[in-house]
Structure 1
Amino acid sequence: MMKKIVQGLAIGGFAIVLTACQSDDSETVVETEYGSISKEEFHAELEEKYGEETLQSMTKKLVLEGQFDIDQEEFEQEVEQFKTQLGPQFTKFINQQGYRNEEEFRTALYISKLEFEAATADIEITDEEIETHYERMQEERKARHILVDEKETAEEIIKKYKDGASFEELAKEYSKDGSAANGGDLGYTTAGEMVKPFEDAMYGLETNEISEPVESQFGWHVILVEDVRESETEVQPFDEMKDQLREQLLASKVDSQSYTSKVQEALDNGNIDISDDDYEGLFGSNKSGESESTDDEGDSSNEDNGKQDSEEAKDDSESDNE
């Protein structure tokens, strides 16, 4: 979640400034010996620099709030959790990420939570899945893996291993993952640290057992479990972690493409009509000015042209997920 917030819109404060400037544009804001600056000039400058981002943020918040609910008490707790975790470094951290103040950070966090609700609204997580995830967290597994592009290649690797080849040497020869140089060694990992197909396969193996080919968004994996041990990290009681685990599982079930598509679908449901030509197309195809005969065409281009922020749902590198 931290990474996602960092990538959020850091312009909440500008919306307030722009709104305030509209009250009396003829009023002078600054006077000097060499001239003055009116609110109208100030507003025009702000709109030129931040208008598109601000309008996008305000509209997204308006439309998504109309469809999804964010528990305000939980939201406040999450903000406080960030502040507690970072301590005296909180202000420095948000400034480094481009936020001028806590209010801008809160805006980005709030919008990211609305987007997450939109992206995962139709995904169901059962109590059994949560309990299984919690049980897996009680142990760590030392694994090696080989990542290739084709299932046939993965099957060839498995055959060579069963015929006596070294897994480490096979990893160095075949794997396209960064761990190849270390013989595919991933060290000890636990639940929630791998993409879900990989995790499910890994937890289904006994010590020194090799997997069948496992497909993920990165390609085809061959997994070897070398050791199983109790988790060295203390795990909180189940009741205290249940909601957190549910959110983790939701995140694991949505990839970047579907995440972006679902958010765009929710925005399309808002029937956004931008009357200012300067911002036409900000949310895909603008409905303003379209004739009835092109409605279907416009709807389809919304899905194609409105995709943005595609990396918010996953880490940037494969090594973060594998």
Structure 2
Amino acid sequence: MLKPLLAASAILAGGLTPWAVMAQDADTVVATVNGDTITLGQMIAMKEAMGHDAAANLPASALWDLMLDQMIRQTAVSQVVKDDLKPRDAAALENERRGFLAGVALERVAAADPTEEEMRALYDKTFNGEAGPKTEYNAAHILVKTKEEADEIAKQLKEGADFGTLATEKSTDNSGPNKGDLGWFQAEQMVPPFAEAVKTLKKDEISAPVETQFGWHVIKLIDSRDVQAPGFDEVKEQIALQLRREKVQAEIDKQVEAAKIEKTEGLNPDLLNDTKIFGE
């Protein structure tokens, strides 16, 4: 009985300060350096940033001492310039702060698990609710601005001109250097007039000129194939990731739309190269 009583007496007298009797939270001070505090929350955040592997082989006490020593050193050195930052350094620090805060905000949006209903809806939208075979097409095209140009190209092709050569020479989009090849796609991925034309073609057949909002196309079907759409469980993780990305983008759009944005007009973009502006 004597030892517990002595221990209690020592605690009450201020002789012992065990962790068990201290209120500990993120603001608990673990050290001060010239009055600047280092907190338990900062220590934990630093450990999380290190990653599991970096700390896995160290006993807790050794890791504590190592981290605290590093933070004390950083604090002491940072105090040299804390109140005397050069304009360049202040700008860089503000950029890091802005980027960090934006990252925190978007991480909170992405952290929420998509619901089963949301994932099913995206699956149905992506695969049209079908798990059976779907047709994919491999086609090439020559895209030009006017119907007259497209008609002339169609005429040359009928006379035996090489499709790939004409695509390289005439096509106005970035598929030209690849002989007009668009790779494999499903019809739903293309604009309706283009998709409908592709569906009617047989292998190696060339279409009459087709108009879309991008211009006039002459299309050649290289090949087609049936592919099996994946089951929901096969793509569940990818769908969840896609939903998170969409929610993050929606949050960005929402906040930008709600923000009062005033751009200063008349500034010369060449100012980006004027490092003398910092006056250093």
Whether the TM-score (by the shorter chain) exceeds 0.5 is no
TM-score range, shorter chain: 0.3 to 0.5
Please identify the structure whose Cα radius of gyration is greater. 2
Scaled by the length of structure 1, the TM-score of the pair is: 0.39
